[in-house]
Amino acid sequence: MNCDQAKERMVDRWIAGLDEAQRIELDRHIGTCPHCREEHETLLALWNGLGGLPVEEPGRAMRAGFHRMLEAYRLGAASGQVARPSAWEWLKDLWPRQPLVQFALAAAALVCGVLAGHLYTARGHDREQIAALNSEMRQMRQLAALSLLQQQSASDRLRGVSYSVRLQPADDEVLAALLAALNHDPNVNVRLAAFDALRQSGTRNPVRQGLREALRRQDSPLVQIALIDWAVEARDTASAAALRQLQREPELNPAVSSRLARALSQLE
């Protein structure tokens, strides 16, 4: 149990009650957390103090008001019209006259307001902390991805690509590093992994433009086929020029040449 859950249980203990397991868990937390123990003792003292206030007995003014309303009703009934007291008169008669009881009601309202405000503020603060932690975690992953993509080991660069996938939607710096890996990395597996990561952001214009330019720079049949298939799936007609240029390359792999012919027939 954390401190926020303990504070909610404190309110439930006084208002709705707790079962045995919840009470034991709350008491165990209060016994180990000085902050929650201090807050529990303060609120408990205030709550118990409210219970010790005397209950107001109906005063003479309330009795007199009741008789006035009864007399007004009797006279109205006799004349064919029933006099209705105003809402203000009803509230004035219901409000206690004794200052001590008035103070008790005001204190009870204050306690409820403090508890509700405390819970609302604590939850809002938790949301802010979670958002800040998520932002810090994203920055750490971004730094890790960029750092790993610069390593000499191909396995480290593959890990960098894997980290970048967790950053969707990726920012411009990460996308630029992935495009550089796609175009210049000496390892084919790293280039294919970078392409798969970029394809997740394929609707963004800088990425689409980078993938078109990558068609002109690739010498691996596997990467060429992957880019050709992307152009067809994405219906990227702007890739047709790069595909035609690739088709004119000498010593083009037959599988790539066949895939190019089908792709151009679908895009043009």
Query: Contact at 8 Å (CB) between 211 and 202?
Result: yes
Query: Contact at 8 Å (CB) between 58 and 38?
Result: no
pLDDT, tens only, 209-242: 999 999 888 888 999 999 999 999 989 889 889 9
Please, what is the average pLDDT of the chain? 76
Q: Which of 145, 183, 140 is nearest to 165 (CA)?
A: 145
CA distance 244 to 240: 6
Q: How far is CA 10 from CA 116, 136, 149, 171, in A?
A: 12, 33, 51, 45
pLDDT for the residue 180: 92
Of the listed ranges 79-83, 216-220, 251-255, the least confidently predicted one is 79-83
How does DSSP classify residue 149? T
Both tokens of residue 5? 């859950």
Tell me what percent of the residues of the chain surpass a pLDDT of 70.
62
pLDDT for the residue 40: 73
* Higher-confidence position of 221 and 88: 221
Q: pLDDT confidence of 140, banded at 50, 70, 90?
A: confident
Q: How far is CA 198 from CA 118, 167, 175, in A?
A: 46, 11, 7
Q: Which of 57, 90, 60 is nearest to 72 (CA)?
A: 90
Does residue 8 have a pLDDT over 80? no
pLDDT for the residue 107: 64
Arithmetic mean of pLDDT, 42-63: 59
Amino acid identity of residue 51, one-letter, is G
DSSP SS3 for 141: helix
DSSP SS3 for 83: coil
DSSP SS3 for 114: helix
* Higher-confidence position of 246 and 15: 246
CA distance 34 to 118: 18
CA distance 260 to 268: 12
Arithmetic mean of pLDDT, 177-202: 90
Q: Which of 84, 45, 34, 232 is nearest to 242 (CA)?
A: 232
Both tokens of residue 206? 């800088």
- Buried b or exposed e, range 232-262, using 16+ CB within 10 angstroms: beeebeebbebbeebeeeeeebeebeebbee
Q: How far is CA 254 from CA 116, 250, 251, in A?
A: 72, 11, 9
